[in-house]
């Protein structure tokens, strides 16, 4: 089982609308201490925000890397770090869409249904440059697709109808007091 780096510091989460959220990010080419620190901070931020995945652009960094700690259909939590992901989805008769609620830490507090394939495989390398491959169904499949999308400049709001997007923005606006600027970094107790 993959373990995630620890010892990171939660960072403020970047919101939809910031340019880094809406463009393809740079390929990770250097696997050094700076990347290791970023990955540890992504993990700390994901946990502080009570999320199941987090991409680098969600903390304002222009690099193709995401972390996840997400349950599958059986409730087993899968963890990983993926740099430069390649997403594989079922096609043809094997493609079954799962329309379930989806949310995003970069538009916190709001959830609407979003149809996605019920199975996904992601390959890439981890933060040390070692090859990784993850497959999943249910929420894990959704997470792998959602986080890979982020690295290519797509937010899940781009995948839903105008009407659903309007509802999503309204829900987020209604809950905005729960997620002030600097969240979740500035909502953590200092040690």
> What DSSP string runs through 31-80?
-SHHHHHHHHHHHHHHHHTT-SEEEGGGGT--BSEEEEEEE-TTS-EEEE
Question: φ, ψ for residue 51 (rounded to 5)?
Answer: -100, 175
Distance between CA 65 and CA 82 in Å, rounded? Answer: 6
Length of the chain in terms of residues written: 191
Cis amide leading into 94 (omega within 30)? no
The DSSP output letter for 123 is E
Supply the residues annotated as catalytic.
Answer: 147
> What DSSP string runs through 9-24?
---PPPPTTSGGGSSP
Distance between CA 103 and CA 98 in Å, rounded? Answer: 15
Which tokens in the block code for residue 171? Answer: 């829900």
Beta bridge partners of 101: 113
């Amino acid at each position: 089982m993959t373990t995630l780096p620890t010892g990171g510091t939660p960072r403020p989460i970047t919101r939809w609308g910031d340019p880094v959220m809406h463009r393809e990010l740079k390929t990770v080419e250097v696997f050094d201490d700076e990347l290791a620190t970023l990955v540890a901070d992504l993990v700390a931020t994901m946990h502080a925000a009570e999320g199941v995945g987090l991409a680098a652009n969600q903390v304002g960094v222009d690099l193709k890397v995401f972390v996840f700690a997400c349950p599958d259909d059986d409730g087993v939590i899968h963890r990983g770090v993926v740099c430069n992901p390649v997403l594989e989805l079922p096609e043809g008769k094997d493609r079954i869409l799962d329309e379930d609620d989806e949310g995003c830490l970069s538009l916190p507090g709001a959830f609407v249904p979003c149809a996605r394939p019920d199975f996904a495989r992601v390959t890439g390398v981890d933060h040390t440059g070692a090859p990784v491959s993850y497959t999943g169904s249910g929420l894990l499949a959704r997470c792998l697709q959602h986080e890979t999308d982020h690295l290519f400049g797509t937010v899940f709001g781009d995948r839903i109808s105008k009407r659903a997007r309007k509802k999503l923005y309204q829900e987020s606006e209604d809950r905005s007091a729960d997620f002030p600027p600097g969240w979740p970094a500035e909502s953590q107790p200092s040690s």
